[in-house]
C-alpha cells in the first residue's frame, strides 16, 4: 500500500491523507459527542486530565514522526549523492579514455556510451518501479575486457592507464551503491506506528469535552491536517526513486549530452 501511495502525485496524496485524517477526526468527534461522553459521564472538568494525556501522546508521536522525517530526508539526500557521484565517475572515466590510442579509444568509448544509455533508458524506469536493475553488469564486463588487455607502451600511457583503472573501479563501486539503494525504504514496523499512531493521537483528543463543538471541530481539523502534512513528507521521500519526488536521471543525461554526443 505504501508503494502505491508513494507513486501518487503529491497533490492527490495530500488530498487522500487529509480526507482520511480529517474525516476520521470529525466522524470520531460526532460519535464521541453522541455516544461516549454520555456513557462515560464526562464533564468539562475532565478535560484537564484528558489534555495532559493527549499532550503526552502527541509529544511521543511527534517525536517519532519528526525523527522519521529527518531519517528519510537524510537517506534521500544520500541516494541523490550516490547518483551524482556515479555520473561524475562516468564523466571522469570518459575523459581518461579519450587519451587512449586507437582502436582502444573508440572501442571503450562506445561501450561507456552504451552503459550510460542503458542507465537512462532501461535501469531508471526499472528503479522507479522498485525493481533492481541488472543490465549494467554486461556493459561493465564488456568495458573491463579491453581495459585489462591494454598494454601501455610509454610512461605516459602507464600513468593514464593506472588512472583509468582507478576511475573504472570507482565507477563499479558507485554503481553497486546505486543498485543497493533501489530497495531503500522504511521498515514495515514504522508504518504500523506512524499510520495507526496518527489516528490514535487524534482519538485521544476526542476526549476533550469543550462547550463549543464548532471550536473543538476546528482544533481537530487543524491537528489532523498538520499530521497529514507530516505523513505526506515521509511517504513522498520514503522511496528515493519513486513518485513525483523520485530522483531522476538528469545527471546521466547531462553527461551524455555534453560529453558523449560531441
Picking from 188, 240, 232, the residue whose alpha carbon sits closest to that of residue 75 is 240
What is the reported pTM?
0.84
Q: Dig out the grid coordinates for 183 from the structure.
A: 530497495
CB atoms within 10 A of CB 21: 24
pLDDT for the residue numbered 43 = 58
Q: How far is CA 21 from CA 118, 181, 198, 255, in A?
A: 42, 31, 8, 44
Q: Dig out the grid coordinates for 234 from the structure.
A: 515521509
Per residue in 58-94, pLDDT (tens digit) is: 888 888 899 999 999 999 999 999 999 999 999 999 9
Residue with more model confidence, 46 or 202: 202
In angstroms, rounded to a whole number, what is the distance separating the alpha carbons of residues 198 and 18? Answer: 12
Residue with more model confidence, 114 or 45: 114
Split at pLDDT 50, 70, 90, the class of 166 is very high
Residue with more model confidence, 132 or 55: 132
Percent of the chain exceeding pLDDT 70 equals 90
Find the angle CA(129)-CA(83)-CA(177) to the nearest 5 degrees.
80
Q: Which residues of 126-163 are buried (b: 16+ CB within 10 A; e: fewer)?
A: ebbeeeebeebeebbebbeebbeebeeeeeebeebbee
Per-chain mean pLDDT for the chain: 87
| pLDDT value at 9 more than 70 | yes
pLDDT for the residue numbered 200 = 87
156 secondary structure, DSSP code: H
Q: 165: domain range?
A: 2-260
- Are residues 96 and 164 in contact, defined by beta-carbon separation less than 8 angstroms? yes
Percent of the chain exceeding pLDDT 90 equals 48
CB atoms within 10 A of CB 218: 11
In angstroms, rounded to a whole number, what is the distance separating the alpha carbons of residues 207 and 49? Answer: 10
Least confident of 1-10, 97-106, 124-133, 194-203: 1-10
Per residue in 19-54, pLDDT (tens digit) is: 999 999 998 888 877 776 666 665 555 556 666 677
> How many structural domains does the chain have?
1
Residue with more model confidence, 243 or 78: 78
CA-CA-CA-CA dihedral for 246, 251, 256, 262, to nearest 10:
140
In angstroms, rounded to a whole number, what is the distance separating the alpha carbons of residues 183 and 3? Answer: 11
- Are residues 223 and 170 in contact, defined by beta-carbon separation less than 8 angstroms? no
Average pLDDT of span 237-254: 90
| pLDDT value at 188 more than 90 | no
Cβ burial, residue 168 (10 Å; 0-12/13-18/19+) = buried
Kindly write down the DSSP assignment for every residue of 56-96, as one continuous string: HHHHHHHHHHHHHHHHHHHHHHHHHHHHHHHHHHHHHHHHH
pLDDT for the residue numbered 31 = 81
Amino acid at each position: 500500500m505504501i508503494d502505491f501511495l508513494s507513486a501518487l502525485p503529491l497533490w492527490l496524496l495530500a488530498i487522500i491523507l487529509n480526507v482520511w485524517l480529517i474525516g476520521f477526526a470529525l466522524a470520531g468527534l460526532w460519535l464521541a459527542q453522541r455516544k461516549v461522553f454520555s456513557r462515560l459521564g464526562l464533564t468539562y472538568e475532565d478535560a484537564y486530565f484528558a489534555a495532559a494525556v493527549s499532550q503526552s501522546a502527541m509529544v511521543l508521536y511527534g517525536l517519532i514522526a519528526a525523527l522519521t522525517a529527518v531519517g528519510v530526508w537524510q537517506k534521500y539526500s544520500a541516494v541523490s549523492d550516490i547518483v551524482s557521484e556515479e555520473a561524475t565517475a562516468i564523466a571522469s572515466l570518459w575523459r581518461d579514455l579519450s587519451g587512449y590510442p586507437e582502436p582502444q579509444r573508440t572501442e571503450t568509448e562506445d561501450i561507456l556510451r552504451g552503459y550510460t544509455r542503458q542507465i537512462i533508458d532501461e535501469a531508471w524506469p526499472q528503479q522507479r518501479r522498485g525493481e533492481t536493475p541488472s543490465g549494467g553488469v554486461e556493459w561493465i564486463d564488456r568495458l573491463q575486457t579491453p581495459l585489462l588487455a591494454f598494454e601501455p607502451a610509454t610512461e605516459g600511457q602507464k600513468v593514464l592507464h593506472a588512472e583509468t583503472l582507478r576511475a573504472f573501479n570507482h565507477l563499479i563501486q558507485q554503481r553497486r551503491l546505486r543498485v543497493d539503494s533501489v530497495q531503500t525504504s522504511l521498515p514495515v514496523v514504522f508504518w504500523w506506528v506512524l499510520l495507526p499512531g496518527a489516528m490514535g493521537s487524534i482519538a485521544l483528543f476526542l476526549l476533550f469535552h469543550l462547550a463549543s463543538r464548532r471550536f473543538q471541530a476546528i482544533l481537530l481539523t487543524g491537528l489532523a491536517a498538520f499530521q497529514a502534512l507530516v505523513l505526506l513528507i515521509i511517504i513522498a521521500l520514503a522511496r528515493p526513486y519513486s513518485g513525483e519526488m523520485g530522483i531522476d536521471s538528469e545527471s546521466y543525461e547531462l553527461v551524455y549530452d555534453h560529453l558523449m554526443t560531441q
